[in-house]
Structure 1
């Protein structure tokens, strides 16, 4: 998704100044560039920002990703963009610290989630500031479809993330019960999806109308049941006793890998 340079610059100046104040930086300078190609992330504008400033008599540098919410009114309405950003900010500020605290009690840590430097839920200017993992050699896989070595690694790390919920359920059951109150932010807040599914079902019915009533009737029944089905699948309680806090958008563009120079074996970051 493209955005005007001047608009990016004005937006970043505000947040860089706030970041510099939080980090006690002076004489701050910054450079920025687009972090993804158009179409890679349609619900976010990813901007790579390098910040440099003085602190305690020395120069300190930060490599960051600013994830900015799109401002297009229709896009925000259709996909419930504001709900998604508030949900993601709450994950980093409220949910992730719970896992970090629990693991620290056992001398364990989380090393495959980028460091979070803050966010803002100001309407139409929502933003998250994250560590840029590119400085560790991380990048997206070139193919949208992951091969076995990439996919198996991604599944291992997803399993580790799910394991935090099982550990929390065992170690701090009351805290885990509070986590289960989270509402799914994407499908919960968009009537547009139901309208889209209606249209898709109508197209499918039209495509098979010559095949006879058997298949048409089944599709019509499926269409009528979509709202109830959607309500069921986004209610985490229906996954018990295996309910966990999940990623929510675990696809190849949201996974970064680094590589061993000798074997070219991927390592998830």
Structure 2
């Protein structure tokens, strides 16, 4: 046993760790002397996987004198039934492994070919190889000074600008890869909103919207919005399926797919304390579609209310400038996508943002005690108790956020 109530997984032994380390050139031939395992995500910080941090002492080949240290982040299949089924049915680990080990290296290969400055900036952690199914082993970014922001406080303007700029670089590189090899995006066709996933996803969405309606109509002055939310349900599936489709004669890119504050790791300048970098983690829901989907998801889950209310247009402009600059470096200027097109497409995808606010934002701002417990929910979600779903929706921070967002979405004609 480690960390009091935590039990180390039986498969997480020295041989497994060495196999992973040997897949990175700088650790070739090392031997593990000791390792310690702890849970790396607290309650409310991750919903789809079990995440461990493994701190390792090792020795290099032909050097028995010096012991060095490193650490890894290991993601494995959730023990929660509904999440395990979701991850398995949608081949989530396979997709994420492909992104880290195949797609992203190919994207950066193209950037290295075209960027004369050779200032190659990696946007993700290194992914180690493993033969164990449903397992992902990543570089621990904390060893390089990266850390998560406070999800409940959400992000200020500097963090948001840094995020959309790096998102633009990621999107642009994926477009260059698609130009070179259109089959490179085949793996990332829509997996969430399609006919195969309809039953499970509609059970989830129906529970989420009904629970939100029940909570909202108890707020003074918001009584009418309960039924407005419920009236979304008969058409929401077909509308969402249409929204996530790549748009003909427009830009399609590899979306992160789950771009919210907990999937961002920030670095800060030691001298000034200001944010100077961000890396993306958790590509389990990536899709090939409009860049506006990532932007909608991020804008309605992660910035503070002040930033969302007053700086969304600025963030779109920052994103667009970085997208154009990176496309130019990659010799992909022939892809025309004006700032007006981006803003129009962002508005067209507003329902995607509303669903993010209805289903994800509550988790962003929830206190640990208010986090939804999915332990006893069936794998198809059919027995999801509305009271269970209502718990994170009833928190003070979420109420404050929704009281601003509901009139905002109503003005857009979505409610």
Taking structure 1 as the reference length, what is the TM-score of the superposition? 0.79
The answer as to whether partners of 1:43 and 1:81 remain within 8 angstroms in 2 is no
Pairwise mapping of residues 146-165 of structure 1 onto structure 2 (< 5 A)?
146-165=155-174
Select 1:255's aligned residue among 252, 261, 264.
264
Pairwise mapping of residues 64-75 of structure 1 onto structure 2 (< 5 A)?
64-75=72-83
- How far apart, in 2, do the equivalents of 1:89 and 1:64 lie? 16
Answer with 93-102 or 68-77: which moved more. Answer: 68-77
Higher strand residue share: 1
- Which residue pairs with 2:191 in the alignment? 185
Q: CA RMSD for the aligned pairs?
A: 3.3
- Which residue pairs with 1:98 in the alignment? 106
Structure 2 unaligned blocks of 5 or more? 279-415
- How far apart, in 2, do the equivalents of 1:263 and 1:91 lie? 34
Pairwise mapping of residues 1-269 of structure 1 onto structure 2 (< 5 A)?
5-8=6-9, 10-13=10-13, 15-19=16-20, 22=23, 23-26=28-31, 28-58=33-63, 59=66, 60-78=68-86, 83-107=91-115, 108=118, 109-120=120-131, 122=133, 126-144=134-152, 145-170=154-179, 172=180, 175-180=181-186, 182-188=188-194, 190=197, 191-200=199-208, 204=213, 220=231, 222-235=232-245, 237-238=246-247, 240-269=249-278
The answer as to whether partners of 1:50 and 1:63 remain within 8 angstroms in 2 is yes
Structure 2 SS opposite 1:227: helix
Structure 1 SS opposite 2:200: helix
Structure 1 unaligned blocks of 5 or more? none
Q: Per-residue displacement from partner, 1:63-102 (whole Å, max 9, x unpaired)? A: 2111222123233125657622111011112211220221
Q: Per-residue displacement from partner, 1:16-61 (whole Å, max 9, x unpaired)? A: 1432565322353222222222220111222111223232323454
What count of residue pairs does the alignment treat as equivalent?
255
Deviation at 1:7, TM superposition (A): 4.0
Answer with 19-28 or 248-257: which moved more. Answer: 19-28
- How far apart, in 1, do the equivalents of 2:92 and 2:207 lie? 25
